[in-house]
Every structure is written in structure tokens, then in C-alpha cells.
Structure 1
Amino acid sequence: MSKSYRVAVVGVTGAVGELILRVLEERQFPVRELVPVASARSAGKTLTFQGATHTVKALAPEVFDGVDLAFFAAGGSISREYAPIAAEKGALVIDNSSAFRLDPDCPLCVPEVNLEAARNPKKGIIANPNCSTTQMVVALKPIYELGGGIKRVVVSTYQAISGAGAQAIEAFKQQSLDVAKGEAPSGTEKLKGQLAQNLLMHWTPDEASGYQEEELKMVHETKKIFGDDSIRVTPNAVRVPVLSGHSEFLAVETNQPLDPAAVREALASMEGVVVMDAFANGVYPKPLDVVGRDEVFVGRIREDVGNPGGITLWVVADNLRKGAATNAVQIAQGLLL
């Protein structure tokens, strides 16, 4: 008989938590019993999973009794308090927050890149990377191997509002309607400005460096995932008026010069990557192409005109799926099935 698991999802009523349930169903993960968990405010609500109705439980230490696998999608403060409790009770924890990403005893995992690093985690906790890091390192994996290592990556991200959560999505929808009707935009506090018909850089600033915390995550997480502190990452993150789907421009310099045709071939054979690269014919990845998809889409693969031997490319993925829920479920699949 194949093994099945008692699975808890913390933050189950949020955008990522709901999607974790959907991905578990789509991938037919063997869930023997679901333990849906959320705040006291959401406790008592019902949801449907695998055709059955489940009642949401309030977050408390005892909900993890007998749990084999716990997904956390409720923010860093909740993870810091409750993820160790779940792990101590015997659950394998996969955490979507930033709480444990740089903890040396907690693996930071993207299965296509470094699944082996996630086996037997010392604390029983595996961290899911930042959404923008995840899609970038999937695209960088074959480039790293072809080029004998990466010297430097310059990355500009164009990030959808869904990465800020369900409340931000609703605020953006209403704000867009307001602006279209010529009314004063609502939701400026939640969105930290007017995003409708505009661009924002609204993540927490790091005053010492001049960067945003969102950008620095990409610097540190990329090094940890590849196990290579020599990689230099120069990031810039921008929030764009798009509901879902993060886009990134990458300029990559490797230790050995690269040929675009070889990079294209390597990416085309990479698990979890879809190459859409016929730019002269208008074919390249766009956010609308990737919504609802688990792969990372790559196009505009070309030599860096400003740095011969380097490569530039365009990378797009569904930030709620591959950037969060799907990656978490893939970790569980890779380790448990």
C-alpha cells in the first residue's frame, strides 16, 4: 500500500494557502487527512478539498498533533512561532515566509535546482524562496552549469500585485476601477501608493544599502540555493499594474563565455522550463501566458551586446504557483514520494 500523509496547511484561507490545496489536488498528493488551519477569525469556516467539506481550525500547538507534513503560508511572525512547534511534534515543515530562508540549519529549496540539499533538514523546516528568486534560479541552473559557474547576474523584476496577498489584489482591482472612472484612487495605504496606471517600488527600504528588502532577498537567496557565495547579484524590483505573473530581465556573466544557441538548447531540456523564443515573430513570454501554469517560461535568449560572451534573457512565471504554492508541493513530492 502506498503511503499517505496527514497534512496541515497554515494560512489555508489566504491566496497561497488556497492555492496549495488546489495544487495538492492537481498533483494527486496522497493526503490521508487534511488539517486546514488559519487565524481565530477564520476558524469555523468551511472549504472543500478532494470532494469533502472541511472545517478550518484555529491556529494552536495542538493542531499539529499527529501531522506528517505542514505547509505554512501565513507570514513570518506566525512561522517563527509555530513552525518549530510543528517540527518538534514530528511534522516536516515547508515554510513560505522569509523567516527561515537564511537560517543555516534550514535548507532553501527549489527542487529543479537543489532538492538534495533539502533532505534531512536539521530543524525539520525547509524554506521556500522568495517568488522572484525561485523563477530566476530555475532559469539560471543550466546557465550555471554551461558557463562553469556564474560571476554576476543583473536582474530587474516586474512583479504582479498578487505577490502582496489577497487584500492587495482586491485593493488594486478597486483602485483600477476608481482611476478608470476618473475618481480619486482608493487603496493607496494598502498599496503604498497608486499602482493603477503606474509603477511602484514599495517594499521596505534598507537604509544602509539603498536597496529594498525584496531586492536583497534575491542577493542572499541566490547564493544559498547554488551554494556559491561568489555569485554577485545586482537587483532592482518594481511593482507593476498586473494581477498575476512576475517578469524578469536577466543579464548573466559566467566564468566561461556562452553561446545563445547552447543556452537555448539547455533551457529547452531543463525540467520545469518552457522556452518561448521567437521574438522576431512576436513570440516571448508574457504574464497572461503563464497564469495557472507551474513552469518557468523563458524567451529573448541572446548575447549581451554590452558584454560579449554574456547572456540576456526574459523570464516569466506565475508567482503564486511556481513562486509559492507549486514549489512548496514539489518539495514535498521530491522528498516524500
Structure 2
Amino acid sequence: MSQSLDIAIIGATGTVGEILVQLLEEREFPVGNLHLLASGESAGASVPFKGRNLRVRDVADFDFSQVRLAFFAAGEAVTRSFVPRARAVGCSLIDLSGALDPLEAPSLVPEANPELLAGLSAPYQLTSPSASAVALACVLAPLKDLLKPQRLSVMASLAVSSRGREGVTELARQTAELLNARPLEPRFFDRQIAFNILAQAGAPDAQGHIALERRLVSEIKQLLGEPGLRVAATCALAPVFFGDSLAVSVVAEQQLDLTAVRERLGQAPGVELVEEEGDYPTAVGDAVGQDSVYVGRVRGGVDDPCELNLWIASDNARKGAALNAVQSAELLIKHYLSKILT
């Protein structure tokens, strides 16, 4: 990756956008000119990159012909508004918002389905899937041929940062109010999140499912290449700033070989198996700030020899969002974009 690439980050002042900038520097990504963009009041701020402070500009005024790759790390509405402009000038893009049609911008997790790129052509359009889907795919992809999964159930306890900077601010405010014995009035969330768990991480549809649950079901089927897999997903909000925790149950085609499962997980790229007696991974103690997905409590079912149960912890903002997007870009450059760089 000796050639450089001019890049834009839309949503550069958000939590994930700032981590994207950090990772481009940490991983020595071949950035030529880096354009930091945002909408509304965020324009005009500055973000440090390689010893300089880069000014954030208004995305509404940006000419996408200046860049070859754009990371869309803002909300769905911003993505839908500005992706057509990027497409029109041949700019490749990686969307982190989930706003795009999966047929046009399929989900990619490099540890799980890198072969996806073989069917794509420039300009490339990819989705970096939801943080829960990234964590699940990293753990389940190396087990797929071993388990031949028939059914998957996921209970995802999501950090409040999954709702952006406002979620983090609200948890901090509520916690301070309660610890100081002051009356609590929820603002960003519809009820108390501090010292509590909210059973749904968004507004439900007519069938009772939230958009993130439907997105997770769709993404994991695509990432594993299992369109017929039966998936049940529940996404709750936990009083944690960063780091998601997932309770996972997989029903395999036949009786489990737990020794083989542990061997696969121990060798899987991007996965850390926590197997010392009595130990298990946690979001705060293990995953936050790390580039790996942590998995533990590997066990069979209580009364079903075909059932595998797992506990997963992952940094939702770093590994689940920003790092997966950067790794996807690295894969694009290595195999595809390098052919058209000038």
C-alpha cells in the first residue's frame, strides 16, 4: 500500500468518526489528502491528525470528485442525502450507517466474508455492518462448516454509545443526578438508563421489532452466506458507555465437538478466546479500546447436545464500527483500488 489515497470522512466529529481518524493514523493507512466533513454546527471544529489540526468542513459544500474513497459515519439521513453525489463522480464508499440498500452496498467483515469483493466493480460501495453483526460474524464465520448452524439466537446488550454522543452524555448526566440524590428527568432516552436496562434500543415496528434487530438478522445471514438461517435477535440498552455484550446460542446440525469449537476460536483472526477456569470476558475489563472480539463461556446446551452457547464482548465503536470500516478499506486497496490509483 505504497500509493496514497485521498479520503473523506463524513461525520468526522462524531464518536466513530473521531476513531476513524485515529485508526487511519495508527495503522499508517496510505492517506494522501484527508477531508473531514460534517453537517450543521459541527462544521468548523478541528480534529488532530498526524501532528496537525484539520478543520472540519460542511459536507454540503464538498466536491466528492476530490477523493477516491469516502467513509460515511454520520446518520442515515446524511448518508442518503450525500451518497448520490459521491456515486455520481465515481467515488468509492463505505457506509457505517446502514442507510443503503444491501443489494447495492453489501456488508463486509474482512475476517468473515472477504470473498464478497470478487463480485464487485468500481466504484465500490460497501456497508460496514452493525457492531453486533461484526462481533457475531468474527466468532461464527470460523465455526460455520463445523456447526452447520440451523438456528441462531442473540441477546445483545448495547452500550449507550450505540446511540451516539448524545447517549453517552445522557448516561453520564443521569448517573450524576442519581448519585447526588437529585430528581431524575430523562431527556435523550424515554426513561431512566442509569443503573437500569432498557428492553428495546429504539422504536418498535408493528410486529414489535426495532430497526436494529431487523438489520442484525439481515446482516448476519448475508455475512455468513446463510440466507435460510433462522435468527432471533433482541437488542437492549445497558448502562455502559462503550462495549457491547452478546449472549449467543447456536443450534448445530449435529452433536457438538466442543474441543474442535475451542480450537477454531483459538485460531480465528480477530478473536480472543478467554478460557481460563472461572474467567470470562467483559466489555469494560477486556474489550474497550481493543481491536479483537472477545469470546468466552463456551459450552453446550443444558439438555440439547446440538446447542452451543457463547458470551461475546466487543468495543462497539472501535472494533464494531471504525476498525471494521478501515480494515475493509485496506482490503479494497490491496486487491482492487490499487489498480485505479493515480
TM beyond 0.5: yes
Residues 154, 249 of structure 2: 8 Å contact kept: yes
TM-score, normalising length: structure 2: 0.93
* Stretch deviating more after TM superposition (243-252 or 176-185): 176-185
**Aligned residue number for residue 196 of structure 1:** 194
1:299 to 281, 293, 296: 296
What's the counterpart of residue 286 of structure 1?
Answer: 282
Q: Report the number of matched residues.
A: 332
What is the CA deviation profile of residues 215-234 of structure 1, one whole-angstrom value per residue up to 9, with x for unaligned ones?
22221111122222111111
SS state of the match for residue 332, structure 2?
Answer: helix
Within 5 Å, which residues of 2 pair with 1:227-306? 227-278=225-276, 280-281=277-278, 283-288=279-284, 289-306=286-303
Cα pair distance change 1:227/1:200, threshold 3 Å: same
Residue 164 of structure 1 deviates from its aligned partner by 0.8
Q: Please tell me whether residue 163 in structure 1 is matched to residue 159 in structure 2.
A: no
Q: Is the 8 A contact 2:92 2:122 kept in 1?
A: no
Q: CA, structure 1 residues 63+55, in 2 after alignment: closer, same or farther (shift >3 Å)? A: farther
Give the residue type in structure 2 aligned to 1:307.
Answer: D
State whether residues 57 and 63 of structure 1, in contact with CA within 8 Å, keep that contact through their aligned partners in structure 2.
no
| Residue number in structure 2 paired with 1:210 | 208
CA contact (8 A) 1:142 1:263 kept: no
Structure 1 consecutive aligned stretches of length 4 or more whose deviation exceeds 6 Å: none
Distance (whole Å) between structure 2 residues aligned to residue 154 and residue 306 of structure 1: 16
In the alignment, the residues of structure 2 paired with residue 196 and residue 158 of structure 1 have an alpha-carbon distance, to the nearest angstrom, of 14
1:205, 1:46 → 2: CA distance?
34
CA distance in 1, matches of 2:255, 2:61: 53
Tell me which residue corresponds to 2:313: 316
- Measure, in 1, the Cα distance between the counterparts of 2:314 and 2:143: 18
- The residue number in structure 2 matching 1:27 is 27
CA-based RMSD of the aligned residues comes to 1.6
- The alpha-carbon distance between structure 1 residues 121 and 199, as it changes in their structure 2 partners (threshold 3 A), is farther
% of aligned pairs identical?
35
The aligned residue for residue 172 of structure 1 is 171
How far the C-alpha of 1:61 sits from its partner, in A, is 5.9
d(CA) in 2 for partners of 1:79, 1:258: 43
Secondary structure of 1:150's match? coil
Q: Which runs of 5+ in 2 are unaligned?
A: 335-342
Separation in structure 1 between the aligned mates of residue 106 and residue 121 of structure 2, nearest angstrom: 6
Q: 1:40: how far off? A: 3.5
- Of the structure 1 ranges 66-75 and 40-49, higher mean CA displacement relative to structure 2 is found in 40-49
Q: Of residues 321, 327, 331 in structure 2, which corresponds to 1:330?
A: 327
Contact 1:133–1:221 (8 Å) recurs in 2: yes
The answer for the alignment partner of 2:339 in structure 1 is none
